[in-house]
Amino acid sequence: MLEIRPNCEMCDRDLPPDATEARICSYECTFCADCVDNVLHNVCPNCAGGFVPRPIRPRQARRPGVSLTDQPPGTKRRSLKHRLEDITAFVAATRGIPPEDR
């Protein structure tokens, strides 16, 4: 089950559970579409994986026991541990390789 993290690890903007601009990698590193498209170029700076839009968990339990109320989103904010110049070099070295070939 996804944790549904509350913010972009890069620019720290809020990414509430219903945000259509939230992007995640396979480890659920979480970023906004703006950072993914313009800074990270579809390279996760933590794991080198590509990104997909984060699915939106329904607000209302339309099936018993499964909703945002039953499994609330995560509250722990995260931020990148890498320095910006490291990220830039990492992205430059990786972005030319399609995610399925990394």
Among 22, 24, 32, 40, which residue sits at the site for Zn ion (rule: CB under 5 A)? 32
Among 5, 7, 10, 17, which residue sits at the site for Zn ion (rule: CB under 5 A)? 10
Among 25, 40, 43, 80, which residue sits at the site for Zn ion (rule: CB under 5 A)? 25
Its sign, for the CA torsion 39, 44, 50, 55, is negative
Nearer to Zn ion, 30 or 57 (CB): 30
- According to CB under 5 A, which residues from 59 to 98 bind Zn ion? none
Rounded CA separation 12/27 (Å):
18
Radius of gyration of the chain (CA): 15
- Quote the least distance from Cβ 92 to Zn ion, whole Å: 17
Q: Is 40 in the site for Zn ion (CB under 5 A)?
A: no
DSSP letters, 43-87, are: --TTT----EEPPPPPSS-SBTTBSTTTSPPP-------S-HHHH
Footprint of Zn ion on this chain (CB under 5 A)? 8, 10-11, 25, 27, 29, 32, 35, 44, 46-47
